[in-house]
Amino acid sequence: MNQKNIFTGIAAVLVLQGILFYTMGDKVVADVYPNLDEGGASATHTMMTVVAMLSIALGLITYSARNSAEVLWAYTVGYGLILLNTSKHRFMDNVNVPIPAMVIQLGIVLLCGYLWYQQSQKK
């Protein structure tokens, strides 16, 4: 497993996630927040489209940075923070966060942390 292959996989997952969030945002919002009224669901769906575009953008950035070891610390810390925030919503705020999303986030943190550790051992 090298950084180029791992980052290419992460990029593909992020772009696919963004496309799915954009096309299935209504379903995701209804599953995560089943008690929202029409106005709340509409506003949340709008935010879901923003998250979808951010996911696609991050996937494209990840793909373009797949050969740069200088971004490993940022990906590890950044996705660690995302995972912590998602875990807070899931376990403390009782938001119905999809478990596959949390597994993907954990996988990205572990892979980036592994690559970061490998890179630090080469120095």
Q: pLDDT tens for the chain, 123 residues: list them.
A: 789 999 999 999 999 999 999 999 888 888 888 888 989 988 998 999 999 999 999 999 999 999 998 999 999 999 999 999 999 999 998 888 888 889 999 999 999 999 999 998 986
Q: What is the largest CA-CA distance in the chain?
A: 55
- pLDDT value for 32: 84
Helix, strand and coil content of the chain, in percent to the nearest 5, comes to 85, 0, 15
How much is the pTM? Answer: 0.84
**Which conformational region is residue 94 in: left (phi greater than 0), alpha (psi within -120 to 50 degrees), or beta?**
left
Instruction: Give me the domain span that covers residue 58.
Output: 3-122
Q: Are 60 and 11 in contact (CB under 8 A)?
A: yes
Chain centroid to Cα 72, Å, comes to: 15
- Full DSSP string of 56-105: HHHHHHHHHTTT-GGGHHHHHHHHHHHHHHHHHHHHTS-----HHHHHHH
Rounded Cα distance, 113 and 39, in Å: 40
- pLDDT value for 29: 87
- pLDDT value for 31: 86
Number of domains in the chain: 1
